[in-house]
């Protein structure tokens, strides 16, 4: 029998941990996942109903339903041939030489399913957030992150062997000759990429990845490809700079992307096309295509056909489905109450910043200016992105529709380069159980789907709601002042607005946060404090601010507050999935998220009478306070 004083997470969630079962088609179950399951069930019924009563007054939703129906027409999918996939494979198979590849770069980007072995992206410029910049990075790796390639990693060989076998089976389904050799060659190219790929720790410090290079310098360094012409074809102009996000890959470009490696690159591209096509055809191929992902996370069975049908539709019409969901399931009363909580949390932050003991007044005032400029978006967006008006289903196959959609989406990506950034756009659909802070627009977004119990309910007490959604709201506000967000000003630009001595003090606080979590053991292995520091700063700021707000309510109940905090982080997962999260997830393991932040709060000790002899005790001098 556990006690809160020894283990908040295990005590509050004891009954749930004993009885909750991980769904056979998922690697975990959590408070978030329980809401996902509920949403899936509701949306599957909603879309099935809409299939019988087509929404002719909503053209974007109508196209989503048409695609949904096509995705669920298994009789047709079972009969569909693979000619369209073979056409895509042929676009690469006919590139006999590296010279052929060089001469077809633009066509491959805009009119094929073949990914290039490097990536250009269009994203808000970190130093000029109202305009877009052209970003450059590597192609990604087959295994979850660079740590999996260490020879001592226990799963390296079995995962790579499984991927190769699974991929060769997929290639054979599409009548590709020498399938085993192609899969092996793809793995050889993947292995070449590992030393130049960013680590998860490097990706976590995204503000430090902004490396602008003048376009002339960028293209002149690359000798093996005409990137100047490609860039002009992509964005229809000559940008003044390119933002390099993976320096080692850029420095190694010509040693990786060259004539000598062409056969490996070609094989890698073929495997990507083949694997990407498996979701659009018969049941056997769908199951085969997902086998590697299930093996990676120890998922017992594939998603059902009904869930797969919904997944596929969401992959192209996420915001359309989200807007439908938000309007149907999220009420104005809830929106007004959450908005009230956001306002309360911002006021708490204003007060805490003004009374902060380690910041100078000058920096604190600028922090408050940034805080006041934060824009909250709650529930669902006012409008859909224009791109959805372009997605039209055809009389062709499901895969052919997907090909057309991908072409349209790719064209739109690069089309945006010449436009101003729309800071009101959402990067998450309303039916997603999550929330986020966007540093480039200084916005916090709370989709309708997370505004449910245990996070939020009009039926819950104020302390429960502050322990749930209140901590999430304050968490997202805190991201404006984590190790990444703190480097962006109130306009969303990467800009030094701190006094030097204040930022140095903040860096010392970051080191303390890293040390607080680094090496803490979990059932899947030790936590990496550097990888998870930004989310831990946000968690600590979130629970601290929400606690302050909860105490201002007449019905304050701090036992309910801390218990609700522990409930929202409840989770059970396969060991393999937990190990993967430890290597690449920027969030701390669920149990550590629940247990460590409260130990830095005096109110936790007072509420539960925590003594020095208890396991949750942390000496006062070791209790970390940032925001």
DSSP string spanning 76-116? HHHH--SHHHHHHHHHHHT--SHHHHHHTHHHHHHH-SPPP
The pLDDT value given to residue 19? 97
CA pair distance 481, 479, nearest whole angstrom: 5
Average pLDDT of the segment spanning 300-320: 97
| pLDDT for the residue numbered 531 | 97
> Is pLDDT at 469 greater than 90 in this prediction?
yes
Which of helix, strand or coil describes residue 378? strand
pTM above 0.85, yes or no: yes
pLDDT over 90 (residue 465):
yes
Task: Using the predicted structure, report yes or no on whether residue 362 has a pLDDT greater than 90.
Answer: yes
Give the pLDDT score at 153.
Answer: 96
Measured between alpha carbons, how far is 408 from 521 in angstroms, rounded to an integer? 47
CA geometry: angle 116, 118, 121, nearest 5 deg: 100
pLDDT in tens, 479-491: 999 999 999 999 9
Q: Walk me through the domains of the chain, giving residue ranges and CATH numbers.
A: 8-20+31-42+330-385+425-622 (3.40.390.10), 83-308 (1.10.1380.10)
pLDDT at 138: 98
Biggest alpha carbon–alpha carbon distance for the chain: 74
Provide the pLDDT for residue 494: 97
Which residues sit opposite 420 in a β-bridge? 131
Long-range contacts of 14-21 (CB under 8 A, 24+ apart): 16/567, 16/570, 17/570, 17/572, 20/570, 20/572
DSSP-derived letter for residue 359 is: S
d(Cα 29, Cα 22) in Å, to the nearest integer? 5
pLDDT band at 509 (very low <50, low <70, confident <90, very high): very high
Query: Does the pLDDT of residue 288 top 90, yes or no?
Result: yes
Q: In this model, does residue 444 exceed pLDDT 90?
A: yes
> How far is residue 18's CA from residue 507's CA, in Å, rounded to a whole number?
41
Would you say 329 and 42 are in contact if contact means Cβ atoms under 8 Å apart? yes
pLDDT on residue 335: 85
* pLDDT number for residue 337: 87
On whether the CB atoms of residues 122 and 414 are closer than 8 A, the answer is yes
pLDDT confidence of residue 332:
84
Q: What is the pLDDT of residue 85?
A: 98
| pLDDT per residue as tens digits for the range 567-601 | 999 999 999 999 999 999 999 999 999 999 999 99
Q: For residue 486, give the DSSP letter.
A: G
Helix (H) or strand (E) holding 547: helix 533-551
As a whole number of angstroms, the distance between CA 58 and CA 569 comes to 38
Query: Which is catalytic among the residues 33, 88, 401, 476?
Result: 476
284 is known as an active-site residue: no
pLDDT greater than 90 at residue 1? no
Q: What are phi and psi of 54, to 5 degrees?
A: -55, 130
Q: Would you call 161 a catalytic residue per the annotation?
A: no
Question: Regarding beta strands 128-137 and 119-125, do their DSSP bridges make them parallel or antiparallel, or are they unpaired?
Answer: antiparallel
Q: Is the peptide bond before 454 cis (omega within 30 degrees of 0)?
A: yes
pLDDT more than 90, % of the chain: 97
Q: pLDDT band at 90, cuts 50/70/90?
A: very high
pLDDT per residue over 10-65, tens digit each? 999 999 999 999 999 999 999 999 999 999 999 999 999 999 999 999 999 999 99
Mean pLDDT over all residues of the chain? 96
- Supply angle C-alpha 228, 131, 318, rounded to 5: 95
Q: Which are the contacts of 162, defined by CB distance < 8 A and separation ≥ 6?
A: 291, 292, 295
Structure tokens at 416: 């945006």
Predicted confidence band at 542 (pLDDT cuts at 50, 70, 90)?
A: very high
Structure tokens at 588: 């701390």
User: What pLDDT is attached to residue 284?
Assistant: 98
Report d(CA 62, CA 81) in Å as an integer. Answer: 27
Query: What pLDDT, on the 0 to 100 scale, is given for residue 433?
Result: 97
pLDDT of residue 291: 98
pLDDT at 333: 85
Crossing angle of helices 332-354 and 361-373, in 10° steps, is 170
pLDDT tens for each residue of 171-215: 999 999 999 999 999 999 999 999 999 999 999 999 999 999 999
pLDDT for residue 547: 97
Q: Which of 125, 246, 482, 539 is catalytic?
A: 539
Q: Cα 451 to the chain's mean position, in Å?
A: 19
In the beta sheet, which residues pair with residue 379? 447
């Amino acid at each position: 029998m556990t006690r809160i004083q020894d283990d908040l997470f295990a005590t509050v969630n004891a009954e749930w941990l004993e009885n909750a079962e991980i769904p056979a088609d998922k690697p975990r179950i959590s408070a978030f996942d329980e809401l996902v399951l509920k949403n899936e069930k509701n949306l599957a019924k909603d879309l099935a109903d809409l299939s019988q009563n087509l929404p002719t007054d909503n053209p974007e939703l109508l196209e989503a339903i048409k695609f949904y129906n096509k995705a669920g027409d298994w009789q047709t999918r079972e009969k569909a041939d693979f000619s369209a996939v073979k056409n895509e494979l042929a676009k690469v198979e006919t590139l006999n030489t590296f010279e052929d590849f060089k001469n077809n770069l633009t066509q491959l980007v805009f009119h094929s399913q073949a990914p290039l072995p490097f990536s250009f992206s269009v994203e808000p410029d970190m130093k000029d957030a109202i305009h877009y910049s052209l970003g450059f990075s590597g192609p990604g790796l087959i295994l979850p992150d660079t740590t999996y390639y260490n020879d001592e990693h226990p799963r390296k060989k079995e995962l790579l062997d499984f991927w190769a076998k699974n991929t060769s089976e997929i290639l054979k389904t599409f009548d590709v000759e020498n399938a085993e050799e192609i899969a092996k060659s793809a793995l050889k190219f993947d292995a070449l990429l590992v030393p130049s790929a960013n680590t998860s720790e490097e990706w976590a410090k995204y503000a430090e990845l902004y490396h602008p290079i003048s376009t002339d310098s960028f293209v002149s360094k690359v000798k093996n490809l005409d990137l100047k012409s490609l860039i002009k074809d992509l964005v229809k102009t000559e940008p003044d700079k390119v933002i390099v996000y993976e320096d080692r890959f850029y420095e190694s470009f010509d040693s990786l992307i060259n004539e000598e490696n062409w056969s490996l690159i070609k094989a890698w591209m073929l495997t990507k096309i083949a694997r990407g096509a498996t979701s659009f055809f018969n049941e056997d191929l769908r199951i085969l295509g997902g086998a590697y992902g299930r093996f990676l996370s120890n998922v017992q069975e594939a998603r059902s056909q009904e869930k797969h049908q919904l997944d596929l539709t969401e992959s192209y019409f996420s915001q359309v489905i989200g807007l439908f969901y938000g309007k149907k399931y999220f009420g104005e009363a809830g929106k007004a109450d959450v908005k009230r909580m956001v306002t309360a949390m911002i006021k708490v932050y204003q007060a805490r910043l003004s009374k902060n003991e380690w910041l100078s007044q000058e920096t604190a005032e600028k922090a408050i200016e940034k805080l006041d400029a934060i824009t909250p978006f709650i529930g669902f967006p006012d409008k859909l992105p224009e791109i959805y008006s372009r997605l039209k289903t055809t009389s062709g196959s499901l895969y052919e529709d997907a090909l057309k959609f991908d072409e349209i989406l790719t064209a739109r990506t690069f089309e945006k380069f010449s436009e101003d950034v729309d800071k009101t756009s959402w990067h998450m659909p309303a039916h997603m159980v999550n929330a986020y802070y966007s540093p480039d627009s200084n916005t916090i977004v709370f989709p309708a789907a997370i505004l449910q119990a245990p996070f939020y309910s009009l039926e819950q007490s104020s302390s429960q709601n502050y322990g749930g959604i209140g901590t999430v709201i304050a968490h997202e506000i805190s991201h404006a002042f984590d190790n990444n967000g703190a480097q962006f000003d109130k306009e969303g630009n990467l800009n030094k607005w701190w006094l030097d001595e204040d930022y140095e003090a903040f860096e010392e606080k970051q080191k303390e946060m890293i040390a607080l979590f680094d090496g803490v053991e979990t059932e899947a292995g030790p936590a990496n404090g550097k990888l998870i520091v930004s989310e831990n700063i946000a968690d600590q700021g979130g629970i601290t601010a929400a606690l302050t707000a909860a105490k201002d309510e007449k019905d304050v109940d701090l036992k309910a507050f801390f218990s609700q905090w522990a409930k929202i982080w409840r989770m059970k997962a396969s060991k393999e999935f937990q190990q993967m999260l430890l290597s690449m997830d920027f969030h701390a393991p669920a149990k550590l998220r629940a247990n460590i932040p409260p130990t830095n709060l005096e109110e936790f000790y007072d509420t539960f009478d925590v003594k020095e002899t208890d396991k949750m005790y942390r000496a006062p001098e070791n209790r970390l306070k940032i925001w």
